[in-house]
Amino acid sequence: EDQAVNGHDEKENNPFAEYMWMENEEDFNRQVEEELQEQEFLDRCFQEMLEEEDQDWFIPSRDLPQGMGQLQQQLNGLSVCDGHGSEDILSKSNLNPDAKEFVPGVKY
């Protein structure tokens, strides 16, 4: 009973309300285009920022001369003490194990 001939309620002011954005389609398209350009600009800014940050970091494979990579590998293979010769070193030491710990600026 409330339905009009065109299939919409008589109480409804404009049956085409949901399509009214099409009236200003050019403005809508311009707004979307501006948003896309702004997003693209932000993406470029972030990319440049990351590249600048990358340049500030020290990356041995990139920043050291070619021969330094081999030297670094050799240094990584070295160890200060493997635990096997420590007793021998201690037995030959002439340091006093009961001596007080040295603290700079403190007089005993």
Cβ contacts of 72 within 8 Å, gap of 6 or more: 60, 64
Summarised one tens digit per residue, pLDDT across range 25-49 is 888 889 999 999 999 999 999 999 9
Query: What pLDDT, on a 0 to 100 scale, did the predictor assign at position 84?
Result: 60
Query: What pLDDT, on a 0 to 100 scale, did the predictor assign at position 72?
Result: 73
Query: What pLDDT, on a 0 to 100 scale, did the predictor assign at position 94?
Result: 83
Q: Are 14 and 8 within 8 A, CB to CB?
A: no
DSSP 6-71: TSSBTT-S-TTGGGGGGGGHHHHHHHHHHHHHHHHHHHHHHHHHHHHHHHHS--HHHHS-TTHHHH
Q: Are 3 and 9 within 8 A, CB to CB?
A: yes
Determine the 3-state secondary structure of 3 from DSSP: strand
Task: Mark the ranges of the chain whose per-residue pLDDT is less than 70.
Answer: 1-12, 60-61, 67-69, 80-86
Query: What pLDDT, on a 0 to 100 scale, did the predictor assign at position 3?
Result: 47
Query: What pLDDT, on a 0 to 100 scale, did the predictor assign at position 37?
Result: 97
